[in-house]
A and B are shown apart, each in its own frame.
Chain A
Amino acid sequence: MTTRQTSIDEDDFQAFVDGQLPPERCRAVMAYLASQPEESARMSDYRALCEGLHGLYDEALYEPLPVRLRVDHYRGRTYWRDLLQRWFGFGLFGLTPRLVGLAALLSASAAGGWWMHSSQVVVPEAETPAMSFARQATSAHLVYAPDVRHPVEFGADQEENMLLWLSERLGQTVHVPRLQELGFALVGGRLLPAEGEPAAQLMYENPEAKRITLYIRGRWTAASPGAQPERSVSYATEGDVGLVYWIEGPFAYALIGAMDREQLFATAETVQQQLTMPVIPPAPEQTATTEKDAT
């Protein structure tokens, strides 16, 4: 349409990695990268570095603050008793979400999820790919869904950018299911590290501020070839949070929320329908693949 610069420089690449390019320019870079596997690999490496940094240091966000790093410590008028009361009363800086996050991190750590934190952590062998997937999805939900200030990396207003980025990162087109009919609006999404692989989390919220998340990651390879759990849907719970997960195409999906089993399955069904028949099909010419599995 308009004349856009065709030369792509290093600044564009960096801004592409950081999601700081306007969508138009972003597409130009993606088109360029499509024919440049080495440069494309470099972009992936840069993003993997960002994820690695989060994996190493995000823990610091969820640690309880020592007293010397708390504002009321410097107020002079606050007594120790008050400090403690506030500390345990979760009054001040949204400590509750932070503690929930911490708890999630700790449980993830116990199960080996925090393996990247220390070279000494031993990952238990018993966990199946499905179990580890469910655990990651649940941890991600427990960490981000209660977050009041930064629940998502991209808000719903940046949906287009978010999709470009998530699709690029996950290596396949990511779709955002519409759940308005069920009363859930898109809050946004984020990219997450999942044991060295990128994963995406989409978050929805209903008018009662109840949040559900859809966790998307590359599918795992089946333990025994031939026996692929192609259309099976699994259910699990963790505290009052329920989780439904399944494999569809190149991805494994998990829908997580504090809902009962029926509600969760119904919601998952809506999601599933839209994933097999996306609202906006990417390439209308190829109809052969869409009809594959109509049971």
Chain B
Amino acid sequence: MAKSHEKADGISETERKIAEQIPRLRRYARALLGDPVRSDDLVQEALVRGLSRSHLWQPGTDIRAWMFTILHNIHVNNQRQRYARAEYQELVDDQPEMATPATQEQSLAIRDLARALQLLPEPQRQVVLLVGLEGMNYKSVAAVLEIPVGTVMSRLHRGRESLRRLMAYGPPAAASTQDNRRHISP
């Protein structure tokens, strides 16, 4: 175990910086997975890995992007295993009806946002959240997700447009979340 420069309380500067990222990682993971317990599991894994590799972080570079990259990589690995179970599909299939008076549209819409978000294809959800919730710039998002900036932009557009449609018209018949840009007539 390599010891890095420690302060009086036994926590190194890098570790302290990592610790500062935890609340944001938590927020992102919770929005991404839609489940507080599983998302804390993910953050914990990222924290442990980040701490064990803290000597690899280059001081002066963006530690936030670094931690988000770690979290993302762990998530991708976990996803591969979890896809075997059809957990993801449940979310798509489990769509209650929309029988609510129009006067409640606004508050309903925001409540439904959590659900609409989970209906997005995950690559779009990641981008929408990193940009719209975490306020990352496009270059950082591209670095975290290891995709070109152009892909960030197109996913962002598609993701937002899907969300907008979901919010305006309610969930579609389960399958059509993948390509629904451009035919909007408000």
Which of A52, A57, A71, A196 contacts B19, CB < 8 Å?
A71
Give the Cβ gap from A96 to chain B, nearest Cβ, in Å.
14
B interface residue count range (under 10 / 10 to 19 / 20 to 34 / 35 or more): 35 or more
Which residues of chain A have C-beta atoms less than 8 A from B22's C-beta?
65, 69-71, 93
A262 within 8 A of B: no
Which of B10, B24, B138, B167 contacts A49, CB < 8 Å?
B167
Contact (A70, B19) CB under 8 Å given A14-B156, A49-B132, A116-B110: yes
Which of B9, B20, B164 contacts A45, CB < 8 Å?
B164
Which of B16, B23, B44, B168 contacts A60, CB < 8 Å?
B23
Instruction: Tell me the bound Cα distance from A93 to B109 in angstroms.
Output: 35
Is there contact, CB below 8 Å, between A52 and B47?
Answer: no
Binary flags per residue of A20-56, CB closer than 8 Å to B gives 1, else 0: 1000000000000000001001100110011011111
Residues of B13-27 whose CB lies within 8 A of A = 15-16, 18-20, 22-24, 26-27
Instruction: Tell me the bound Cα distance from A62 to B106 in angstroms.
Output: 26
Give the Cβ gap from A160 to chain B, nearest Cβ, in Å.
18
Which residues of chain A have C-beta atoms less than 8 A from B106's C-beta?
196
A227 within 8 A of B: no
B58 within 8 A of A: no
When C-beta atoms are compared, the residue in chain A nearest to B48 turns out to be A74
A66 within 8 A of B: yes
Binary flags per residue of A117-157, CB closer than 8 Å to B gives 1, else 0: 01100000000000000000000000000000100010000
Is there contact, CB below 8 Å, between A57 and B133?
Answer: yes
B75 within 8 A of A: no
Is there contact, CB below 8 Å, between B10 and A56?
Answer: no
When C-beta atoms are compared, the residue in chain B nearest to A82 turns out to be B9
Is there contact, CB below 8 Å, between B110 and A57?
Answer: no
Is there contact, CB below 8 Å, between A72 and B11?
Answer: yes
Instruction: Tell me the bound Cα distance from A116 to B135 in angstroms.
Output: 21
Is there contact, CB below 8 Å, between A119 and B27?
Answer: no
Which of B11, B31, B186 contacts A57, CB < 8 Å?
B31
B70 within 8 A of A: no
When C-beta atoms are compared, the residue in chain A nearest to B25 turns out to be A69
B72 within 8 A of A: no
B119 within 8 A of A: no
Contact (A41, B186) CB under 8 Å given A52-B113, A57-B27, A72-B10: yes
A285 within 8 A of B: no
Is there contact, CB below 8 Å, between A46 and B111?
Answer: no
Instruction: Tell me the bound Cα distance from A17 to B159 in angstroms.
Output: 14
Is there contact, CB below 8 Å, between B43 and A71?
Answer: no
Instruction: Tell me the bound Cα distance from A254 to B135 in angstroms.
Output: 26
Is there contact, CB below 8 Å, between B107 and A93?
Answer: no
Which residues of chain A have C-beta atoms less than 8 A from B48's C-beta?
74
Give me the 4 closest cross-chain CB pairs, A-B, nearest first: A60-B27, A50-B132, A71-B19, A53-B133
A-B contact pairs, 17 of them (CB 8 A): A14-B156, A14-B160, A20-B138, A42-B164, A50-B133, A52-B113, A53-B113, A53-B132, A56-B113, A57-B27, A57-B133, A65-B26, A71-B19, A71-B47, A71-B51, A72-B10, A77-B10
**Chain A interface residues toward B at CB < 8 A:** 10-11, 13-15, 17-18, 20, 38, 41-42, 45-46, 49-50, 52-58, 60-63, 65-66, 68-72, 74-75, 77-78, 91-93, 98, 115-116, 118-119, 149, 153, 196
Known: A92-B9, A93-B19. 18 other contacts (CB 8 A): A10-B153, A14-B156, A38-B186, A45-B167, A46-B160, A55-B110, A56-B31, A56-B114, A57-B27, A60-B36, A68-B44, A69-B22, A71-B51, A72-B11, A91-B9, A92-B19, A116-B107, A116-B110
